[in-house]
Amino acid sequence: MDLVTAVDEFADHLQRVRRLSPATVKAYRSDLRDLDASAGGVPLEAVDLEVLRDWLWHATQRGDARSTLARRAATARSFFSWAQERALIAHDPSLRLVAPKKGRTLPTVASRDAMSALLDTLRAAAEEGDPLALRDHAILELLYGSGIRVSELCGLDIDDLDLDRGTARVLGKGAKERVVPYGSPARDALTAYLTRGRPVLVARSRTFTAAVILGSRGARVGPRTVYELVARELAPIVGTETIGPHALRHTAATHLLDGGADLRAVQEILGHASLGTTQIYTHVSTERLTATYRLAHPRA
């Protein structure tokens, strides 16, 4: 079997059996097609450890980050393990493949004061009654108030919201469902949007949609629109141009821990499968604590 055909079958397995998100499947496919290009289109059974090492070496030479190399090595191990289980190959060439450990970078986080000022500004704009201003305020309040992913936000339907309890039912990675709280400011922003903004946007569409967050033409909003909104509003207050909705998720988690939230509770809210993923936010909190100590303590 040629490598490209095997990759297509593997991608189908990831989507239908392991139920990974389309974005994750796309990343696996991209990594493995890069392997095929590096290997020169050889058959699947011709890929050995040296081919894999050459692949990662070429990636190093073109300047790929250590995190990218680590991800691609993990992709190869997952793919060839699957291929061996399917009896497509006799031996797994990735068993001895070693990639550099990816460095851990701390996430970009906005301060509490900066977030408060930003959301106050958006609320004031929304009070003018423009449907998109109402929507944008609701989006940022909900992303920050709940810590949900952009895909989870875009996938929300009206029936997923419980405005009385201030909770939302979201479908996360691996099609895992969870219920997250979002607080009274987000509830107020959502109520204003659903009452005064969403009906105007619905009227612009010829088809019915149950989506909570709508685009300017009345259809379900796409991730790109949310990315552009967050980049426009958040970049000036964090000092970087490359910013997206995940920064609000990072900020929500960090502020929860700064406020004394239990790490496992934050894990449940964020929908992390592993506690280790959530623990990165403790480093952000510790760095802030250390910085404050050094500035304020006479013996620091």
Active site residues: 149, 173, 246, 249, 272, 281
Backbone angles phi and psi of 134, in degrees to 5: -60, -45
**How many residues are present in the chain?**
300
Q: How far apart are CA 154 and CA 212, in angstroms?
A: 8
Tokens of 268: 């449940």
Q: How far apart are CA 192 and CA 215, in angstroms?
A: 17
Report the amino acid identity of residue 26: K
Cite the DSSP H helix spans in the chain. 3-16, 22-39, 49-61, 66-85, 112-126, 131-146, 150-154, 183-192, 198-202, 223-238, 246-258, 263-270, 275-278, 280-296
Cα–Cα distance, 145 to 165 (Å, whole number): 14
CA distances to 90, 211, 253, 285, 300 from 293, in Å: 58, 46, 22, 12, 7
